[in-house]
Structure 1
């Protein structure tokens, strides 16, 4: 199987490395290109056998799976370059949420999937959001599920929930890391504990909590109840957080959705010269 990557920036390179390190793909399976070719060449040096192409067209020709790992603003230029070389039997995979499946199906003859990865896939963990177009067969879907199961938990979602699903799985690591950072900063400033020690404690706590919420079988509510003794220190802390933070999460979702709608409108205009309804 030949797997092509157009774009080896942050997310493209994470996917390539995760697939190779997990054993899902051998370097010889992969051909990649990037606008700054040196980035793709560095990956090829790290993983001998991986091929570097000089153009998106070159990656597309002969690829069984084709990953589009570029910014929304770059999609139309890439589509224009590969449009005459994409084939009905190929599976084209977009990893960008504002680019809709219908956008790509209108311009390419290929089978279209939208799969949103997460930085957590770098450590072969976390989720990938799988949204499959109507042209994919059950066998195609199983192929993609199996591929991504090596680096994540593939979760099929409806395209209408792309944004909120991405907030939770893809943006979530940054939001959670911000919480940990601020928790550590407050601990250091207030008590004098070293930043190194506080960061280690908070990071190990985050790892353990993730395990409790997955393999441990706890729901978030159950975990809080198990830790917080009525009238105790944890319960008092939770009471404060409920008072001060609850509204922040609603504002956060409104903010990410507003930016998504803005990006979607820009993509629609670039692809078809129109605005979304």
Structure 2
């Protein structure tokens, strides 16, 4: 089975390396294309047998699975390059959240899936967010999930849940690492513990906490109750976190969704350029709202006020 990776930037390279190290894909089953030939040459040197192509169309032709590891605004250009070499037996996998499955199904003859990866896949961990188009058959889904299971845990969800799930599974490692960095800096400033030691302790703590919440079978609430003895030090610290973090996470979700909605609008404009008369195709049909053509556009515009959990209720 030939698997193509169009785009070998940060995430494209990560997936190639993760699949190769896991043994799920052998180098001679992988082909890649990229604007910068230097990146693909480095991958080919690291994994002898990996095929480099000079064009996206060459990489996509005859590949069973094609991963589009490119920036959202590059999709229209890449789609134009590969659409004529694809057929209805191939599977195109988008790894970016703003590009909608329906949009790709309208533009390409292939079967369409969306799989949002995480940097954690580089250590064969974390969740992959999996969504499938109308043309995907059970055997296609099985093939994709067998592949992605080699480096992560597949997690199937609705496309309308993409953004909030990506905040947690894909953006989350950066958010948590940033909080750990600030915690380590504060520890160093106030107590003299070196930041390196604080990061090491925190990293081991995060690893163990994750295992307790998965392998250990504890819920978040149960873990908190086990550690936070009433009147103890942990309970005192939780009081501080309750006062500061609840509203902060609401702001974080609002910020990521604003950016997401901006990207949806830009993509809509790219996929629906103005007609010669100055109107887009959507406007001629009587609908000028970009988000109405996207499965999860404007998610926060319909959100309820924050509930007791501190998170907005998304449609």
- How far the C-alpha of 1:30 sits from its partner, in A, is 0.2
CA distance in 2, matches of 1:228, 1:8: 45
Within the alignment, does 1:59 sit opposite 2:59 as a pair?
A: yes
- How far the C-alpha of 1:244 sits from its partner, in A, is 1.4
CA distance in 2, matches of 1:54, 1:64: 19
Match of residue 239 from structure 2:
239
- How far the C-alpha of 1:98 sits from its partner, in A, is 0.3
Match of residue 270 from structure 1:
270
CA distance in 1, matches of 2:28, 2:160: 36
Match of residue 16 from structure 1:
16
State TM-score, norm by structure 1.
0.99
Q: Gapped runs of 5+ residues in structure 2? A: 274-279, 281-289, 293-315
State TM-score, norm by structure 2.
0.87
List, as ranges, runs of 4+ consecutive aligned residues in structure 1 with deviation greater than 2 Å. 273-277
- How far the C-alpha of 1:14 sits from its partner, in A, is 0.6
Map 1:48-87 to 2 at 5 A: 48-87=48-87
Within the alignment, does 1:254 sit opposite 2:269 as a pair?
A: no
CA distance in 2, matches of 1:3, 1:244: 46
Match of residue 116 from structure 2:
116
SS of equivalent to 1:239: helix
**Could you report, residue by residue, the CA deviation over 1:83-140 in whole angstroms, capped at 9, with x for unpaired residues?**
1111110000000100000111011000000000000001000000000001011000
CA distance in 2, matches of 1:239, 1:6: 48
Map 1:1-277 to 2 at 5 A: 1-273=1-273, 275-277=290-292
CA distance in 2, matches of 1:257, 1:7: 25
CA distance in 2, matches of 1:269, 1:214: 42
CA distance in 1, matches of 2:164, 2:291: 19
**Could you report, residue by residue, the CA deviation over 1:181-238 in whole angstroms, capped at 9, with x for unpaired residues?**
1110000000111122111111111111111111111111111111011000000000
Q: Gapped runs of 5+ residues in structure 1? A: none
SS of equivalent to 1:80: helix
SS of equivalent to 1:83: helix
CA distance in 2, matches of 1:151, 1:119: 11
- How far the C-alpha of 1:272 sits from its partner, in A, is 1.6
Q: What is the aligned length?
A: 277
CA distance in 2, matches of 1:160, 1:193: 44
**Could you report, residue by residue, the CA deviation over 1:7-38 in whole angstroms, capped at 9, with x for unpaired residues?**
00001011100000011100110000111111
**CA RMSD across the alignment:** 0.8
CA distance in 1, matches of 2:23, 2:17: 10
- How far the C-alpha of 1:151 sits from its partner, in A, is 0.3
